Structures are given as C-alpha cells and as structure tokens.
Chain A
Amino acid sequence: MAGGAEQTSSEYIRHHLQHLTYGRLEDGTWGFAQTPEQIEQMGFWAVHVDSLAMAVFLGGIFFVIFRLAAQKASSEVPGRWQNFIEMVVEFVDENVKSTFSANNRLIAPLALTIFVWVFLMNLMDLVPIDFLPYTFQLLGVSHFKIVPTTDPNVTMGMAISVFILILYYSIKIKGFGGFFGELAFQPFPKALLPANLALEGVTLLTKPVSLGLRLFGNLYAGEIIFILIALLPWWIQFSLSVPWALFHILIIVLQAMIFMILTVIYLAQAHEHH
C-alpha cells in the first residue's frame, strides 16, 4: 500500500481511482485537485493530466519504435526486432484486407495506429499497481493513474474520432442524399420513414458508445481487480495477481484487436454502396 497504514481499504481504492486533475480551483486559481470534492467542483473544464501524459508518451514510443524498425529494415536476413514489427504490420494488413474492400489509403495506417496504441495503453495495466504511483508520490505528485484506457475520456475520445470518420466517409462516398437514404429508407418501406430513422439512428449512435465503453469497461474491471488483490497481505498477493495477470494478457491483446477490427468494419460499412 502506498499511502501509509492508516488508510482504510475503500480510501485506498478511491485514491487509486482518482486522476491527477488540472483545473480551476474554488478560489479562482488554476492548479491540481487534491480531493474528489475539488474535482467535482471543477466541472467540465478539468483535464486528466496523467491519462493525457501517458497516452502521448506511449504514442511517442509507438512512433519511435516503428520508425526505427522501418529505417533499419533490410532485405537481408531480418533481425528479431524487424521480424516482430513485420509480424504486427502483416497481421493488421491481413485483417484490413479481409474486411475492407474499398480503396482508401488511410484505413490500414489508422488500424495499425489504433491496434498498437491501444495495446500499449492496455499494457500499462500489467505494471505493478503501486509501482509508478508510489514513485510519483515520492516526487510530490499526489495521484497518478498509469493506464490511460481506464479513463472513459480517453476511450470515448478515440471512439468519437472513429465516429467522425464514419460520418465523413459515409457522406463523402454516398453523398448526403445517399447517407440519409440509408438511414431513412431501410429496413421498412418508405412510408414508415420515422420508424426507419429511429431504428437506424440508434444503430448509428450505438457504434461509438459501445466501442468506447467496451474498451473502458474491460480495462477498468482489470484495474479494479488488481487494486483489490493489492489489498491482501503482501505474502499472498502473487497467488492471485499472477493468474489474473496471465489471463489479463489475453484481454489486453483481444480488446486492442477488437477495437481495431470494429473500426475497420464500421469504416467498411461507411464505404459500401447500396
């Protein structure tokens, strides 16, 4: 436990679920919030600095790793690292090719970015729960959540970006009339236009919501269970946290893959003519 022995278990959990939030404090100055009440009072204009910093940092890692591998790539016998990167790129490429038939140069790089970035953000869940927060606490930072995908703001932000791309390509490929027609004249005949609009509208809006909440929910569940395991005495923790971490490796990769594949499927639907 990080914060001393006098903490109760629910205080410990709440401490671990609080973000490092930057916003306008009650007295009018700008600064970091210390208590949940202060975060509540900040309202809409509060920024989760820890999620943002970790997300940008991991995005940078992804960029540097892949850039270096691409520069060093040779047609000779490839090294281990190049092999690994090629495996990832080929995996994404195969998935995009099998689901996406239209011609769009953005989709495969987008899919690769989403897959690796989400995977790296999920991977932070496997770092021991108190390791980085405690280190930052010694440096004077009160709260630090290191898994950006356990922050609904991050996952919903990604989902909404995908949603905007869906709308953009739907209108670009099918025209405004075509997109509206798809929403209004299916699945019932044209006479039932309001019912069609309601049904298809819900279908359209569920896409970003389910996409974002699925990733958030899975990682949040994993995080909570790790926090609960960390409440046990130290000599018994490994008996639960090791199996859960092993199982969680599957979830981490699976959720990154699902986010990527669903993005590609949704964008492929946006490119389809009827």
Chain B
Amino acid sequence: MDGGLLYLAAAIMMGLGAVGAAIGVGVLGSKYLEGSGRQPELMPMLRTQMFIVVGLVDAVPMISVALGLYVMFAVAG
C-alpha cells in the first residue's frame, strides 16, 4: 500500500475525531455553566453527570487517535 495515503488517512482520522469531540465538549461545558449559574445548588449533581457524558464523548476521538497513531507508526513506519 502507498505509504503517503496511510499518513493522510491517519491525519483525517485524528482531525475529524478532534473536531467532533471539541464541538461536543464545548456544548456540554457551556450548558453545564449555564445550568449551574441558574441553579448553583444543583452543581455537584450536574458535575458528575457532566463528567459521565464527557467520558462518553471523549471515547470516540480517543479511539480514532489510537488507530491513527497505530496506522502512522506501526503500519506505515
């Protein structure tokens, strides 16, 4: 297989994964701040819930980063 295309594939994988996660975590963080600004007494509950969802959102780009690095260093290199 052509080595250059593999690097490109890894770049697209990591880049698009990062874009999606950035949007997701951005929306999540802004809503958390809004919610806790409106009702500060709910903050501890909202924080745990937010971290759970951050973990869910964070998982997909992490997987794509792992596969991207694997392609870049172990398959192509």
Indicate whether B22 reaches chain A with its CB closer than 8 angstroms: no
Contact with B along A185-222 (1 / 0, CB 8 A): 00000000000000000000000000001101110111
Give every chain A residue within 8 A of B66 (Cβ-Cβ).
217, 220-221, 224
- Minimum CB–CB distance for B55 against chain A, Å: 4
Q: Count of chain A residues with Cβ under 8 Å from any Cβ of B?
A: 23
B52–A17 touching, CB < 8 Å = no
Interface size on B, residues (CB 8 A): 17
Q: Could you tell me the distance between the alpha carbons of A246 and B13 in the complex, rounded to whole angstroms?
A: 25
**Is A221 in contact with B56, judged by CB distance below 8 angstroms?**
no
- With A17-B74, A254-B55 as known contacts, state yes or no: A218 contacts B69, CB within 8 Å: no
Give residues 20-56 of B contacting A (CB, 8 Å): 51-52, 54-56
Contact of B59 with A by CB under 8 A: yes
Bound CA–CA A255/B66 (angstroms): 16
Task: Determine the distance from Cα of A9 to Cα of B63 in the docked complex, in whole angstroms.
Answer: 22
B65 at the interface (CB under 8 A from A): yes
B73 proximity list for chain A (CB < 8 A)? 9-10, 13, 224, 228
Task: Report the minimum CB–CB distance from B38 to chain A (whole Å).
Answer: 22
* A258: interface (CB < 8 Å): yes
